[in-house]
Structure 1
Amino acid sequence: MPTMIREYIRSAVAGAVLAGCFVAALLALDVAHLRHLVLTDEAGGLAVLMLVAFNTLLFGGVQFAIRIMGQAHTPSPPEEGGGLAGTLHPAALTVAAEAPPPTRRI
């Protein structure tokens, strides 16, 4: 299995765990009377399922982004006199100055 697919699956599982914990905390703390709404409405189970599903997408995507960005590395600077760029020197430029255009007063 390719490495990126494996990382994505791990991120999705981590996102599902985080989403389950987050929704459980929302319901346990009764934020905005959400527990009351879920328990008294006939579509409460669907609401909880949607909360978990969409938070899984969110947290899984964040986990995947963190893992991908964590794999980036900064290249080491080239040694003195070596590397692709070599030694850089500033370029001297001469520019002829032009007179500004005359301004007209109205």
Structure 2
Amino acid sequence: MPTMIRVYIRSGLIGLLLACCFVAALLALDIAHLRHLVSSSSIGWLAVVMMVMFNTIVFAGVQFAITIMGQAEKQPPPDRGKRVSRIRQLAAVKAPAVEGRKR
């Protein structure tokens, strides 16, 4: 299996785990009375499934972005103790003139 597919699947699973923990914390702490709304409704389970699903999408995307951006090549730090002259020498270049050229 290609490396990027493995990274994407792993990010999705981590996102699912984080989403389950997040929704469980929302319901356990009864934030915005979500636990009451879910438990008093006949289709409250659907709300929980949707919260887990949509939070999985968000957390998996963030996890994947962090993983991809962490793979960037590190730039070496600039030399701060040494003065490096970056003046380039100009060289004379002869170019033949084209006669009869119209503008």
TM-score greater than 0.5 by the shorter chain = yes
Q: Does 1:63 align with 2:63?
A: yes
Percentage of matched positions with identical amino acids? 63
Structure 1: gaps (5+ residues): 78-86, 93-106
Q: How has the CA–CA distance of structure 1 residues 39 and 91 changed in structure 2, closer, same or farther, with 3 Å as cutoff? A: farther
After TM superposition, give the deviation of residue 42 of structure 1 in Å: 1.2
Letter paired with 1:89: I
Q: Could you list the per-position Cα deviations for residues 39-91 of structure 1 after superposition, in whole angstroms to 9, with x for gaps in the alignment?
A: 001110000000000000000000000000001112447xxxxxxxxx74268
What SS does the corresponding residue of 1:72 show, helix, strand or coil?
coil
Report the count of equivalent residues: 84
| Whole-Å separation in 2 of the counterparts to 1:34 and 1:91 | 71
Letter paired with 1:6: R
What SS does the corresponding residue of 2:46 show, helix, strand or coil?
helix
What SS does the corresponding residue of 2:72 show, helix, strand or coil?
coil
Moved over 3 A (4+): none
Q: Indicate the residue corresponding to 2:32 in structure 1.
A: 32
Q: CA RMSD in A?
A: 2.2
Q: Indicate the residue corresponding to 2:13 in structure 1.
A: 13
